Amino acid sequence: MITEQQARDAAEQYREEGYALLRGFIDPEEVAHLQSETARIYEAGMQHPSTWRHGNLCYEILPEEDFGRRYVIQAYWMAWVSDYFERLRRSEPFRLVLEPILGPDIRQVTQQIHWKPPGAGLTGYRFHQDLRFREVKEAYRDIETSSINAGLAIDPSARENGCLQVVPGSQKLGYVGLSDEGDGQIMKGLTAEDELRAKGIDPDSIVWLEMEPGDLALWGLMTVHGSLPNTSDHDRAFLISSYVRADSSDRGEWAFRGGQSIPLGDAPSLCKYEKLYERPEPHYVNQKWYA
């Protein structure tokens, strides 16, 4: 596990450069649990022929009818079906790394695994800033400074299997609107270098965050980042969690209150799924965003 000093150094780097990388965020024996539980969640997702939702829990499926075979590319809020992920999200390593940035009262607004199954094709994320995913901007105050994303490598993450790429210092550019044109889908197509240059970004400044299982990346809502599709024969599972300072938003599930770890309650809280209370029941979401 990381030390308080490493957490403070990461916070410092994050403030200056808009990202940070912490090696060995969780221990090797913990990584084995993370990987086996991730495989179990993948199999749970595979039971669904198309994208399925129940509360905040969701499995994003590329269906057989359109992709020749079924792939799971994302799971959201696995904490509702996994004691392991319920505890990990509010575990001591996360408290250590989040407190210097967000303080002791913290809610979580996203919990998601992104897989890049070999052969699935549509597994790249064009360059963007995550501010675009805070659809209801009024729900957050001081949105840029009171929110942070953490990405935990589950599988080895390298260039060939689409590791995360960040643009250091891009958090200072303001919102640049990358990938917002057309239907705004970030998983369709690739970002051309000229698109970056047009927004004042030098493609040569991109940092490829190659990570070993158990390493953690941090980035902010204003940090320009993306990743390529997987062209190797190894999957890339990555756990992304987004946390907010509790006094900046009513959204999210408690993670820490006064520095104490807080379990999920009986019913889900509004995170980012705007229809949560309208459609709380299990249902299939038939949206072919990739068409």
Ligand X SMILES: O=C(O)CCC(=O)C(=O)O
Q: Where along the sequence are the contacts to ligand X (CB under 6 A)?
A: 114, 125, 130, 164, 225, 227, 238
Distance, in Å, from the CA atom of 191 to the CA atom of 211, rounded to the nearest integer, reads 22
Which of ligand X, Fe ion, none sits in contact with 62, Cβ below 5 to 8 A by type?
Answer: none
User: Shortest Cβ distance from residue 179 to ligand X (Å)?
Assistant: 10
Residue 271 CA to its chain's centroid (Å): 14
Closer by beta carbon to ligand X, 134 or else 225: 225
> Given the complex with ligand X, which of 56 and 227 has the nearer CB atom?
227
Residues 243-269 as b/e (b if ≥16 CB within 10 A, e otherwise) read bbbbebbebbbbbbeeeeebebeeebb
Looking at the Cβ atoms of 125 and 273, the one nearer to ligand X is: 125
| CB nearer Fe ion, residue 130 or residue 155 | 130
Binding segment (CB under 5 A) for Fe ion, from list 10-18, 26-34, 89-97, 122-130: 122-130
As measured in angstroms, the least distance from the Cβ of 263 to Fe ion is 27
Cβ-closest position to ligand X? 227
Q: What is the DSSP code (8-state) at residue 137?
A: G
Q: How far apart are CA 51 and CA 96, in angstroms?
A: 35
**Please, which residues have CB within 8 angstroms of residue 20's CB and are 6 or more apart in sequence?**
9, 10, 11, 13, 14, 217, 218
Q: Are strands 238-245 and 106-114 parallel, antiparallel or unpaired?
A: antiparallel
Options 17, 130, 215, 253; binder of Fe ion; rule CB under 5 A: 130
Minimum distance from residue 168 beta carbon to Fe ion (Å): 16
CB of 66 to ligand X, least distance (A): 21
Q: 99 vs 243, which CB is nearer to ligand X?
A: 243
Cα–Cα dist 174/172, whole Å: 6
Shortest CB 128 distance to Fe ion, Å: 6
Q: Give CA–CA dist 49/139, Å, rounded.
A: 34
Q: How far apart are the first and last CA of the chain?
A: 43
Query: Cβ of residue 266: shortest distance to Fe ion, in angstroms?
Result: 31
What's the token pair of residue 245? 């300072």
Span near Fe ion by CB under 5 A; candidates 39-47, 102-110, 127-135, 250-258:
127-135
Closer residue to ligand X in complex, CB, 96/230: 230
**Footprint on this chain of Fe ion (rule: CB under 5 A):** 130
